[in-house]
Amino acid sequence: SQQGEEDPQALSIQEGENATMNCSYKTSINNLQWYRQNSGRGLVHLILIRSNEREKHSGRLRVTLDTSKKSSSLLITASRAADTASYFCASHASGGSYIPTFGRGTSLIVHP
């Protein structure tokens, strides 16, 4: 079953703008991860945030986690055309499961 749901489903912006994607999940988690998928390729892991963390940075990526609202956001700052891809969140439920549950993804298009 899908636990993570991303919002919006699609996002179109101009190069240089910031892109924000949101993810909601249903049960308590150990951690939440964000992945990127270029068209016709596999997923690539971007960043992991643990349940006891509120914010994490990696280069132009900033991830926040609000466990009280069961939601996370991924911010890409100063976007580039090369950031065009689909972005997925994957939540790992607490209780020892190592199987992640992926959302449906946000399709991001960055226009040059």
Partner 1 sequence: DGGITQSPKYLFRKEGQNVTLSCEQNLNHDAMYWYRQDPGQGLRLIYYSQIVNDFQKGDIAEGYSVSREKKESFPLTVTSAQKNPTAFYLCASSIYGQGSQPQHFGDGTRLSIL
Site string for partner 1, 44-63 (x = CB under 8 A): xx--x---------------
Nearest alpha carbon to residue 92 among 43, 21, 26: 26
34, 108 in Cβ contact below 8 A?
Answer: no
Signed CA dihedral, 37, 90, 15, 11: sign only: positive
24 sits near partner 1 (criterion: CB under 8 A): no
4 sits near partner 1 (criterion: CB under 8 A): yes
102 sits near partner 1 (criterion: CB under 8 A): yes
Residues at the site binding partner 1, with contacts judged by CB under 8 A:
1-2, 4, 9, 30-31, 33, 40-45, 48, 88, 90, 92, 96-100, 102-105
